Structure 1
Amino acid sequence: MLWLRCCGLTQLLSFRSASTISQLSRLISAAVSPNPSFAVEDYLVSTCGLTRAQALKASAKLSHLKSPSKPDAVLAFLAGLGLSAADVAALVARDPLFLCAKVEKTLAPNVAELTGLGLSLSQIARLVSLPSVTFRYRSIVSTLEYFLPLFRSSENLLRALPRAGGSILGSNLERVVKPNVAFLRECGLGACDIARLCIPTPSLLSISTERIRTAVACVEGLGVPRGSRMFKHALQVVAFLSEEKITTKVEHLKKTFKWSDAEVGIAVSKAPKLLTMSIESLQRRSEFLISEVGLEMTYIVYRPAMLMYSLEGRLRPRYYVVKFLKENGLLSRNRDYYSAVKITEKEFVEKFICPHKDAAPHLADDYGAACRGEVPARFSFT
Structure 2
Amino acid sequence: MTIYICKSLISLSLKNSSHLNKTPICLLSLRFFSSSPRTPIAVADYLLNRHKFSTETASKVSSIVKYVKRPEETDSILSFLQESGFSDSHLELLIKRMPRVLSANLERTIKPKIKFFQDLGFSSSDSAEIVSSNPWILTTSVDNRLGPSILALKSVLGSNMDDVSRILKKSGRLLTFDLVKTLIPNVDFLKSCGICSSQIARCVCTYPTTFTLKPTKIRECVKRVDEMGIDRKSKLFLHAIRAISSMTKENWELKLELLKSLGFSEDDILSVFRRQPKVFTVSDRKIKEITQLFLSTGKCDISYVVNNPDLLCRSVENKLKPRLRVLEVLESRNLLLKMPSLGTVCRITDKKFFEKYVLPYSNEVGELFVVKKTSLKAEICA
TM-score of the pair, normalised by structure 1: 0.68
Identity of aligned pairs, percent?
A: 23
Matched, 1:197 2:200: no
More helix by share: 2
Aligned letter for 1:119? F
CA distance change for structure 1 residues 309 and 203 in 2, over 3 Å: closer, same or farther? closer
CA distance change for structure 1 residues 348 and 142 in 2, over 3 Å: closer, same or farther? same
CA distance change for structure 1 residues 179 and 325 in 2, over 3 Å: closer, same or farther? same
Aligned letter for 1:224? I
* Matches for 1:17-56 after TM superposition, within 5 Å: 36-39=35-38, 41-42=40-41, 46=46, 54-56=64-66
What does residue 26 of structure 2 align with?
none
What does residue 77 of structure 1 align with?
80
CA distance change for structure 1 residues 37 and 158 in 2, over 3 Å: closer, same or farther? farther
What does residue 5 of structure 2 align with?
none
What does residue 248 of structure 2 align with?
242
Matched, 1:216 2:215: no
- Note the residue ranges of structure 1 that are not aligned, 5 or more in a row: 1-34, 60-64, 373-382
Q: CA deviation at 1:242?
A: 0.8
The SS at the match of 2:213 is: coil
* Matches for 1:99-138 after TM superposition, within 5 Å: 99-102=104-107, 111=114, 114-129=117-132, 130-134=134-138, 137-138=141-142
Q: How big is each residue's C-alpha offset from its partner over 1:304-342, in whole Å with a ceiling of 9 and x where there is no partner?
A: 122333445433443344355456554344632222121
What does residue 233 of structure 2 align with?
227
CA distance change for structure 1 residues 313 and 84 in 2, over 3 Å: closer, same or farther? closer
Judge conservation of contact 2:86–2:124 (CA < 8 Å) in 1.
no
- Note the residue ranges of structure 2 that are not aligned, 5 or more in a row: 1-33, 374-382
RMSD of aligned Cα (Å): 3.9
Judge conservation of contact 2:129–2:169 (CA < 8 Å) in 1.
no
Matched, 1:301 2:300: no
Q: CA deviation at 1:288?
A: 3.0
Q: How big is each residue's C-alpha offset from its partner over 1:83-114, in whole Å with a ceiling of 9 and x where there is no partner?
A: 246645765654449732436xx865655554
What does residue 13 of structure 1 align with?
none
| C-alpha distance in 2 between matches for 1:90 and 1:284 | 35
What does residue 8 of structure 2 align with?
none
| C-alpha distance in 2 between matches for 1:148 and 1:43 | 44
The SS at the match of 1:175 is: coil
Judge conservation of contact 1:234–1:272 (CA < 8 Å) in 2.
yes
Judge conservation of contact 1:98–1:136 (CA < 8 Å) in 2.
no
Q: Which has the higher contact order (CA 8 A, sep 6+)?
A: 1
Q: CA deviation at 1:125?
A: 2.6
Judge conservation of contact 2:65–2:99 (CA < 8 Å) in 1.
no
The structure that has the greater radius of gyration is: 2
TM-score of the pair, normalised by structure 2: 0.68
| C-alpha distance in 2 between matches for 1:288 and 1:141 | 50
Out of 329, 332, 341, which is 1:336 matched to? 341
CA distance change for structure 1 residues 135 and 125 in 2, over 3 Å: closer, same or farther? farther
What does residue 5 of structure 1 align with?
none
Q: How big is each residue's C-alpha offset from its partner over 1:208-240, in whole Å with a ceiling of 9 and x where there is no partner?
A: 111122222333334433221222222222212
| C-alpha distance in 1 between matches for 2:150 and 2:67 | 31
The SS at the match of 1:365 is: helix
* Matches for 1:155-304 after TM superposition, within 5 Å: 155-161=162-168, 164=171, 166-259=172-265, 261-304=266-309
| C-alpha distance in 2 between matches for 1:41 and 1:180 | 50
Q: CA deviation at 1:302?
A: 1.3
What does residue 14 of structure 2 align with?
none
